[in-house]
Amino acid sequence: MKMKIISVVGARPNFMKIAPFIRAIERYNQTSSGSHGQNINHILVHTGQHYDISMSQAFFRELNIPDPNINLEVGSGTHAEQVGKTMITFESVLRQEKPDWVVVVGDVNATLACSVTAKKEGVKVCHIEAGLRSGDMTMPEEINRLVTDRLADLLLTPDKISSENLRKEGVSENKIVFVGNIMIDTLEANRAKAAALNIDAICTDNIIGKRKHNSQILKENYYGLMTMHRPSNVDDPAVLGPLVDLFCKEVANEMPLIWPIHPRSEKKLKEFGLWETVSKTVNMILLNPIGYHEMLRLNMDASLLLTDSGGLQEECTVLGTPCLTLRWNTDRPVTLREHGGASVLVGNDVEKIRTEYRKSLASERKPMRPELWDGHTAERCLRAILDYRKPL
């Protein structure tokens, strides 16, 4: 008997989560008909939310993800547009393919849209990275997580705090499986390849415009790394302006600050007349969106990381990079310093960022490995699906 699984990706942070899962399926198909006596027919659906080469195809190539079997090509738009278009097109995919399972990862619009559509079509849903909660309903990702986890048949959690969150919400025990963090599978599988890259070359290859960066300072591995794209940080000039001032006039005054820019942030900086300041700051090294290995390499030796990304908080924890999280809350408390991680919440308050920045510069790199962040999560995810028994 063949099991049919449709996995869904939509936006950049999904790609590093699906890569090891696909590899686990390939291994299972090669080494079995398995203890379960079945092969898996796997179909990869890309909703097309991220479509630029640097935001999508580049990751497929780098992480050896097969081309999607189906691309829904929903593109950019408001949340309702993205979710609505995805639901309409994904519904017809489900009707045609009739899978046993739909596997969704993370918390982007594809995660929400495809889990709702699958449940309405009577298809079982498995959510990888279930149970994360920030409690912040102003974040679209929190809404996506809540809806997905309420509907999913199988909730695969990255840490025990997430499992506990689900129990508190009344999710029955037989649906929850603690599997570890699948993104760390990708980190471990790519660590050596990333380590071989040259930091100076990464900056030269990706720099925006024709500027030259100060390669002398970079060679000494004394630099900060920054990513920032959340609407709460970049969509309001009253928030973005003072942040840009702090990063350009203070941080970049002391150390080179490498900032690979998300298309959303570039658009907003230009719209608010801040692009000139940022691009003229001598030690601010502005890069186009960079690849997975390049980002991992920069993270490995950064003195400090400033970010509002969720995945980077996790990678900093494993690499030990002191991380200032530019948010007031986190859905990943296991990455916080009070839980042994590398990250501290600084929101977008300039004074708080300044204080924690000073403290972080004085702190040591301290790698930490939460339970089951061991590089083997994808196998446990697949096993959980194969072992799933419908509750009586």
In the complex with ligand UD1, the residue whose CB is nearer, 76 or 355, is 76
Nearest C-alpha neighbor of 125 from the set 95, 150, 145, 103: 103
Shortest CB 264 distance to ligand UD1, Å: 4
- Counting contacts by CB under 6 A, is residue 237 touching ligand UD1? no
d(Cα 87, Cα 43) in Å, to the nearest integer? 17
Q: Supply φ then ψ for residue 154, to 5 degrees.
A: -135, 120
Q: Which of 49, 89, 299, 317 binds ligand UD1 (CB under 6 A)?
A: 49
Annotation marks residue 229 as catalytic: yes
Among 150, 191, 264, 383, binds ligand UD1 (CB under 6 A): 264
Q: How far is the CB of 309 from ligand UD1 (least distance, A)?
A: 6
98-117: which residues touch ligand UD1 (CB under 6 A)? 108-109
β-sheet bridge partners, residue 344: 324
Largest CA distance in the chain: 66
Instruction: Name the segment binding ligand UD1 (CB under 6 A); options: 1-9, 46-54, 210-218, 248-256.
Output: 46-54
Q: Which is nearer to ligand UD1, 283 or 313 (CB)?
A: 313
Whichever of 5 and 105 has its CB closer to ligand UD1, that residue is: 105
| Given 229, 293, 339, 376, the catalytic residue | 229
Return the residues of window 206-235 that contact ligand UD1 according to CB under 6 A.
229
β-partners of residue 125 are 102
Count of residues interacting with ligand UD1 (CB under 6 A): 18
Query: Which of 29, 32, 51, 146 forms a contact with ligand UD1 (CB under 6 A)?
Result: 51
Nearer to ligand UD1, 3 or 143 (CB): 143
Q: Strand 304-307 vs strand 3-9: parallel, antiparallel, or unpaired?
A: unpaired
Strand 124-128 to 154-157 pairing = parallel
Pick the piece of the chain touching ligand UD1 (CB under 6 A) from 1-9, 45-53, 91-99, 213-221.
45-53
Q: Using CB under 6 A, which residues numbered 155 to 214 contact ligand UD1?
A: none
Q: Measured from the CB atom, is 52 or 271 closer to ligand UD1? A: 52
Indicate if the alpha-carbon torsion angle 231, 233, 235, 239 is positive or negative.
positive
* Residue 80 CB-half CA count within 13 A: 0
- Stretch in the footprint of ligand UD1 (CB under 6 A) among 92-100, 201-209, 210-218, 262-270: 262-270
Residue among 40 and 324 whose Cβ is closer to ligand UD1: 324
36 in contact with ligand UD1 (CB under 6 A): no
How many Å apart are CA 373 and CA 1, to the nearest integer? 32
Return the closest-CA partner of residue 154 out of 180, 178, 125: 125
**Sign of the dihedral defined by the CA atoms of residues 85, 91, 92, 94, in that order:** positive
Q: Does 325 bind ligand UD1 (CB under 6 A)?
A: no
**Residue 72 interacting with ligand UD1 (CB under 6 A):** no
**Near ligand UD1 by CB under 6 A: residue from 140, 241, 242, 347:** 140
Name the percent of the chain in helix, strand, coil, to the closest 5. Answer: 50, 15, 35
What is the edge-to-edge ordering of all strands in the sheet holding 224-227? 284-287, 257-260, 224-227, 304-307, 323-325, 343-345
Position 180: which residue type?
G
Please count the other Cβ atoms lying within 10 Å of the Cβ belonging to residue 349.
15
* Interface ranges with ligand UD1 (CB under 6 A): 11-13, 49-52, 55, 76, 108-109, 140-141, 229, 262-264, 267
Catalytic residue set: 229
